[in-house]
Homo-oligomer: A and B are copies of this chain.
Amino acid sequence: MALELVVMGAASATPTSNQYTTSQLLKMREHYFLIDCGEGTQKQLRRSKIKFSRINHIFISHLHGDHFFGLVGLLSSFHLLGRTTPLTVYGPPKLKDLILAQFRASGTFTSYPIHFAVTQHKVPQVLLETDDYTISSFPLKHRIATTGFLFEEKEQARKLNKPVADAYGVPVCDYHWIKDGKDWTSEEGQLVPNKELTFDPPAPLSYAFASDTMYTSDTATYIQGVDLLYHESTFCEDKAKRAQETMHSTAKDAAIVAQEAGATHLLLGHFSARYRDFQQFEEEATEWFDSVWLAKELHSYRLSSKGLEVESLTTSLSDEK
């Protein structure tokens, strides 16, 4: 099993002619979650060949335009494409009114129900829990109310070693208990330890999104042991003062959070347009944390027990201008 993150945009503040602002699509156990939605996100989703209909949950970190100006357009396109499946949007209190006012102005009643789930930025909060995963928000420290999001897979049932189970004559009706980790006793009273009858399931994976925020030691406490952490690094240490003023992080700040959280991999993004060469971010962070990656538009970051694999999706764009 793997967890896959597709980066739609990684620029901060304003889009440039060839850079998009924040948006990511997370694929977790066949579920698709959209995180933030800067202007043009729907265009990037199409370029990534991601089916709009797969998205049923959208998470908005905060109400700075580079994180949500693309939402109304995406929701509008869902409507124009005749969507009927309900959609849940998780975000700050005012988000609902901002979106619905725009629909009202155009006389639009969407073809599908939109449920707005309101986030708060004071304490961590479970937003959504199923047998497969838990999604929570956690407070970040920015100029306006902002939350990060933590996506955690749940432990799966153990995998049956069918040939061994057959050899012992385990009846099908006992599989359920065995997959839950129980040992098995035959009618003759022979105890077979669970370890012999099953394989370990893939370890559950987790992903944390932390943008926008300045450094705070709290962040690490919310996401202890996370496998992949996306942490904003708008600036490098050469602009630490500017980072402080605007309540953003430097690459070093992000690396310290990753270190304190005991994360496995760190993905940097939300780069300021003041930088031309993003290699500087990687170099700075690598001084404080081992596994540092740069968020690149239309790139996929695939996390599995084998590690993190990066793939560019732009090769499939050759037919576009």
Produce 1/0 per residue, A83-119, CB < 8 A to B: 0000000001011011001100111000000000000
The residue that A72 contacts in the complex, of B42, B69, B144, with Cβ under 8 A, is B69
- A143 beta carbon closer than 8 Å to chain B: yes
Q: Are B17 and A320 in contact (CB under 8 A)?
A: yes
Per-residue contact bits, chain A 132-159, to B (CB 8 Å; 1 contact, 0 not): 0000000000011000000000000000
Q: Name the B residues within 8 Å of A72 (CB-CB).
A: 65, 69
Using A39-B39, A72-B69, A101-B98 as known contacts, say yes or no to A63 and B14 having CB atoms under 8 A apart: no
Find A43's partner among B40, B46, B81 (CB 8 Å cutoff). Answer: B40
What's the nearest-Cβ distance from chain B to residue A107, in Å? 5
Contact A43 B17 (CB under 8 A): yes
Copies of this polypeptide in the complex: 2
A64 in the interface (beta carbon within 8 A): yes
A73 within 8 Å of B (CB atoms):
yes
* Contact (Cβ within 8 A) A73 B317: no
Q: How far is the CA of A91 from the CA of B17 in the complex (A)?
A: 26
The residues of B that contact A18 with a CB separation of less than 8 Å are: 320-321
Residues of A within 8 Å of B, CB-based: how many? 39
Q: Which of B17, B73, B92, B107 contacts A69 (CB 8 A)?
A: B73
Q: Which residues of B contact A17 (CB under 8 A)?
A: 43, 46-47, 320
Partner of A65, one of B14, B16, B73, B314: B73
Residues of B within 8 A of A65 (CB): 72-73, 76, 102, 106
A69 x B76 contact (CB < 8 A) = yes
> For residue A94, which residues in chain B have a CB less than 8 angstroms away from its CB?
101, 105
Enumerate chain B residues within 8 angstroms of A77, measured Cβ to Cβ. Answer: 13-15
Give the residues in chain B near A46, CB-CB below 8 Å: 16-17
Which B residues are CB-close (under 8 A) to A105? Answer: 63, 92, 94-95, 98
Closest beta carbon of chain B to A45's beta carbon, Å? 9
Bound together, the chains give a CA A317 to CA B18 distance in angstroms of 10
Fill in one digit per residue for A282-321: 1 if any B CB lies within 8 Å of its CB, else 0. 0000000000000000000000000000000010010011
Is A73's CB under 8 angstroms from B15's CB?
yes
Complex contacts, A144 vs chain B, CB 8 Å: 106-107
Any chain B CB within 8 A of the CB of A269? Answer: no
Q: How far is the CB of A83 from chain B (nearest CB, A)?
A: 12
Closest to A317 in B: B321
Alpha-carbon gap, A9 to B97, bound state (A): 28
Residue in B40, B63, B97, B107 whose CB lies within 8 Å of A106 = B63
Chain B residues near A40 (CB-CB < 8 A):
39-40, 43
* CB–CB B39/A42 < 8 A: yes
Q: Determine whether A173 belongs to the interface, using a CB cutoff of 8 Å to chain B.
A: no
Q: Are B106 and A73 in contact (CB under 8 A)?
A: no
Q: List 14 A-B contacts (CB under 8 A).
A: A14-B81, A15-B43, A16-B46, A18-B321, A39-B43, A40-B40, A63-B102, A65-B73, A69-B73, A69-B76, A69-B102, A92-B105, A94-B105, A98-B102
